[in-house]
Amino acid sequence: MPLSDTTDIAQELIDTVVDFLHDDQASLFSSSLVARNWVPATRYHLFERIRIHHFFTRAVDSRYSMHDTARQFLDICSSPFCTILPFIRDVVLNVETPFESQEVLLKQLVDVFAQAPVTKLVFVDHTKFKPTMEPISLIWLGPRFSGLRHLSYNALDRFALDTLALVAHFPELQSLSLCSSTKNAARTAFTQSKPYPSLAPASFAHLRTLSLRLFSHQSQEFMAWLRTGGDHIRLETLDLVVFHAYHNGWGPIAALNAFLSANGTELREFGFRLRYEDDHNVELPILLSHDDDDELDLGGLTNLRSLRLGSHNVEAICTTLSSLPPDLHTLKTFELLFREWIHYEAHPCPCNPRLLVREFADVMRRDQFASLTAFTILIPEIFGDGWKDGLKQFFPRWKDTDVLRLRSLDAFQSSFDTWESIKDTLL
């Protein structure tokens, strides 16, 4: 049908087609492309989150193919009949830009979204690490998203040159996530950004949710930088995933303990999970014996409602749980992710599972856990399913209820806006 004829379609026919399609976003999107027009306002809610993809995927036969919705989206938005832009609030930008032409594509997309009242941006950075190449700059994104309140940045292989400067451009953020997919990507975080950019007074006073997947010292440095604009941050949710090489401890966390002591009364949800990775620069015996880290102190979390801990070291977990305020009665959910020791075959650890389970069960009998409505224990699949029934007997308070949930877990859990979760919805 010629483009000039699309405006002559009877409204009754359009309404009939839309009613038939109901809430099928894919069909509505394709129909919009054919007609170069957008569906009636009653379906605008389907386009509040726009997912833009332009990256290579590998099939089972190892062949690569391009997953591309970016150019289709630009085609639709170039139509004079496009009316959807004022209704877009949530954007996922997953654009691989190894070549100059694709960098142009990214800027074209950002220029289009600059016309929309975007409040949430999920940015997946595909920049490859090459020692001979400087990291890319993303500071130009800031002025295009003046109304941004939620930012999630995912570095797959290398952090951008000016990640902190980009974050500083959004002092009104309500939620922020900085995530590295691998420890190598994490090593590039902030290394090109020193000295850190200065913050205006009262920056991030509205920040309520912070998620970081970095090394422990980087998380501490970042949180300290956030507070240089003044002690106005009132986090309600703090979720930390930390790359860790040693068997013992939580990593260097002195600054984190200080933050929790000073600002813990505001926190409602707290998570600290270790992600064990090889460190080829440290000998295996040292990886096992190193024990110089501080204990994680939760004594300041007087209004905590949700707690997530992940480690192989059950002793460290028990010590941390024992630090909870004795008069804490608000805790409703607790999730424990028990991680396997990655060097067990080459250098087994001396952990005695039976004794450690008893120690953990003794801690869980305390009054702080009496009001739990969900108590979840996640164990790697390599342990099989036989452990579940035996483990229940250690927790008589919940063994016959649906509060206690024992599950196997093979892959590391990720939140909705990480690269892993985005990729899983595509492939």
Whether the Cβ atoms of residue 365 and residue 397 lie closer than 8 Å to each other = yes
Is residue 408 included in any domain, yes or no? no
Residue type, 41: A
Quick one: which of 351, 362, 260, 264 has its CA closest to 311? 351
**Contact by Cβ (8 Å): 43, 28:** yes
For the chain, percent of residues with pLDDT exceeding 90: 32
pLDDT digits (tens, 9 = 90+) for 132-178: 677 778 899 999 999 999 999 998 888 888 889 899 999 999 999 99
Residue 424 has which token pair? 């899983």
pLDDT band of residue 421 (cuts 50, 70, 90) is low
281 Cβ contact list (under 8 Å, min separation 6) = none
Name the 3-class secondary structure at 269: strand
The answer to whether position 425 is within a domain reads no
Predicted confidence (pLDDT) per residue in 345-365, tens digit = 666 667 777 788 899 999 999
Render pLDDT for 60-72 as a digit per residue (tens, 0 to 9): 556 666 778 888 8
pLDDT tens per residue, range 254-311: 888 988 998 899 999 999 998 877 665 556 656 655 666 678 999 999 999 999 999 8
Tell whether 212 is covered by a domain: yes
Helix (H) or strand (E) holding 241: strand 237-244
The pTM of the full predicted model, rounded to 2 decimals, is 0.83
CB atoms closer than 10 angstroms to residue 289: 11
Tell how far CA 75 is from the center of its chain. 31
Residue 381 lies in a domain: no
Q: Report yes or no on 173 lying in a domain.
A: yes
Confidence category of residue 195, pLDDT binned at 50, 70, 90 = confident
pLDDT, the chain, mean? 80
Kindly state whether residue 349 falls inside one of the protein's structural domains: no
> What is the Cα 374 distance to its own chain's centre?
22
Distance in angstroms (rounded) separating the CA atoms of residues 28 and 3: 18
Phi, psi (deg, nearest 5) at residue 320: -65, -45
65 in helix, strand or coil?
A: strand
pLDDT for the residue numbered 427? 41
Among the ranges given (15-29, 122-136, 162-176), the one the predictor scored with the smallest mean pLDDT: 15-29
Q: What is the spatial distance between Cα 330 and Cα 336, in angstroms, rounded to a whole number?
A: 18
Residue with tokens 């109901």: 22
Domain that holds residue 29: 3-312
Taking residue 270's Cβ as centre, other Cβ atoms within 10 Å add up to: 22
- Domains identified in the chain, total number: 1
Among residues 315, 278, 325, 308, the alpha carbon closest in space to that of 293 is found at 315
| CA distance linking residue 423 with residue 302, whole number of Å | 37
Inside any domain, residue 369: no
Measured CA to CA, the distance from residue 272 to residue 275 in angstroms comes to 10
363, 331 in Cβ contact below 8 A? no
Separation CA 184–CA 243 (nearest Å): 10
Interval 214-221 mean pLDDT: 86
| φ/ψ of residue 130, rounded to 5 | -135, 120
Whether residue 21 lies inside any domain: the answer is yes
